[in-house]
């Protein structure tokens, strides 16, 4: 693959080197240096700042299929990781077009400056359509993304570096992005000309287990009337239940659910046995399935984008959803105690489950992102409804 014509006569200052030896040339943006990860593609046409700060992307290099990334700049309000000062997610970004000056009233910082500040290596001038087609055909490759302003690269060393990356299977990346200590969350949703509000009169207490939680999930829990206590991923069931929650939330996050499940699944099993209402999203969904006796599997190309149709099998309704996952629940492995509630209309993969005899449910997609635009936010009301019923 070659860089696009606009830069074809200039010395490349960035490379994306795949583990099979493929070298893709382009022009560097963001932080200098190199980073290793799994290359995926994301089909969203908005929300690049949210995507690049989603902890679920830890260990991955994102190829944006939309060509104009960075055109509305960046701001602190759209960062999704709770740790706003650190890059706790993506390893790199692959773009087609160069970054333009921002054109949006909310822009506070140029995208290139923002990438540098967060230590994210990026490459522009890539034929992202060809790279996306390659991923669709052969799966998500391991790779190194490198930026040197002088264009000095040891390609053989970079190929070996890409080959040495073990891949995401077997990786517990939740341990790398989870909070180090417990904290309370009160910030609710954003409103026009008002900004973010605070939840000062909560009706319910939710303990959220942080496997890589996004800020907007916590905001929507607060908006739904919840006092939220966020705890680290390895917090025990005993410690969680001692906080006397009305409900328990299992968050999104990166990596292999089976690896994180080594310590998370026993905890989740105990929480299910407690009878407390439980709601899981993404990685939380996958680990809930594991705790209930199901299995997960690595996907060929994953689901990454804001245009994924999902059917609610309980109502027949179709939701347009946002997704970001490279592992999925094996629907065939689900035991009889589980009802499958949602399925992808792209490939039929499982997108939601619930226990038949307890207030426990989860979805694979991200209802807080809601490109529908709010097709899936009813799930937060469903969770609070379970808590109200349990309290009555």
Does residue 88 register a pLDDT over 90?
no
In sequence order, what are the residues at sequence separation of 6 or more whose Cβ sits closer than 8 angstroms to the Cβ of residue 375?
Answer: 319, 320, 321
Tell me the domain boundaries of the chain.
5-164, 174-391
What's the CA angle centered on 352, arms 280 and 293, to 5 degrees? 75
Fold classification of 174-391 is: Rossmann fold (3.40.50)
State yes or no: is 368 an active-site residue.
Answer: yes
Q: Which CATH class is domain 5-164?
A: alpha beta
Contact between 236 and 263 under an 8 Å Cβ cutoff? The reply is no
Q: Which of 303, 304, 325, 366 is catalytic?
A: 366
Nearest to 325 by CA among 95, 142, 58, 66: 58
Does residue 163 register a pLDDT over 90?
yes
Nearest to 38 by CA among 1, 2, 90: 90
State yes or no: is 49 an active-site residue.
Answer: no
Q: Which of 40, 226, 282, 351 is catalytic?
A: 282
DSSP 248-284: EEE----S-HHHHHHHHHHHHHHHHHTT--EEEETHH
State yes or no: is 80 an active-site residue.
Answer: no
Q: What is the pLDDT of residues 225-282, one digit of tens each?
A: 999 999 999 999 999 999 999 999 999 999 999 999 999 999 999 999 999 999 999 9
Give the global pTM. Answer: 0.96
End-to-end C-alpha distance for the chain, whole angstroms: 62
Q: What is the pLDDT of residues 49-79, one digit of tens each?
A: 999 999 999 999 999 999 999 999 999 999 9
3-state SS assignment for residue 4:
coil
pLDDT of residue 5: 45
Give Cα 64 distance to the centre of its chain.
15
pLDDT of residue 84: 67
pLDDT of residue 190: 87
């Amino acid at each position: 693959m070659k860089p696009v014509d606009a830069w074809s006569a200039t010395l490349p200052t960035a490379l994306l080197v795949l583990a099979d030896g493929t070298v893709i040339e382009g022009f560097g943006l963001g932080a200098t240096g190199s980073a290793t990860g799994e290359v995926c593609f994301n089909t969203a046409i908005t929300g690049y700042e949210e995507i690049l700060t989603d902890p679920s992307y830890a260990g991955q290099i994102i190829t944006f299929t939309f060509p104009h990334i960075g055109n509305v700049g960046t701001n602190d309000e759209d960062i999704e990781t709770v740790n706003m000062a650190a890059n706790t997610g993506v390893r790199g970004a692959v773009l087609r077009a160069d970054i333009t000056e921002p054109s949006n009233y909310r822009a506070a910082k140029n995208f290139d400056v923002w990438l540098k500040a967060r230590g994210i290596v990026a490459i522009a001038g890539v034929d992202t359509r060809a790279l996306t087609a390659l991923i669709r055909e052969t799966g998500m490759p391991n790779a190194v993304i490198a930026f040197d302003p002088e264009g000095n690269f040891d390609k053989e060393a970079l190929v070996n570096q890409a080959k040495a990356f073990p891949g995401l299977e077997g990786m517990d990346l939740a341990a790398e992005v989870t909070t180090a200590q417990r904290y309370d969350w009160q910030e609710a949703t954003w409103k026009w000309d008002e900004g973010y509000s605070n939840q000062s009169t909560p009706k319910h207490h939710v303990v959220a287990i942080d496997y890589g939680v996004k800020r907007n999930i916590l905001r929507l829990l607060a908006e739904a009337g919840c006092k939220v206590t966020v705890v680290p991923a390895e917090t025990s069931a005993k410690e969680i239940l001692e906080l006397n929650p009305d409900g328990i939330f299992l968050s999104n996050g990166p990596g292999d659910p089976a690896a994180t499940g080594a310590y998370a699944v026993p905890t989740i099993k105990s929480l299910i046995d407690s009878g407390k209402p439980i709601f899981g999203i993404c990685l939380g969904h996958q680990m809930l399935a594991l705790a209930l006796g199901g299995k997960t599997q690595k996907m060929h190309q994953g689901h990454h984008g804001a245009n994924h149709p999902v059917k609610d099998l309980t109502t027949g309704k179709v939701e347009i959803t946002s997704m970001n996952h490279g592992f999925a629940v094996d629907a065939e492995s689900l035991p009889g105690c589980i009802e499958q509630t949602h399925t992808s209309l792209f490939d039929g993969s499982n997108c939601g489950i619930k226990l038949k005899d307890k207030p426990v449910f989860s979805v694979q997609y991200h209802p807080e992102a809601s490109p529908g635009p709010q097709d899936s936010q009813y799930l937060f009301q469903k969770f609070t409804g379970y808590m109200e019923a349990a309290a009555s």
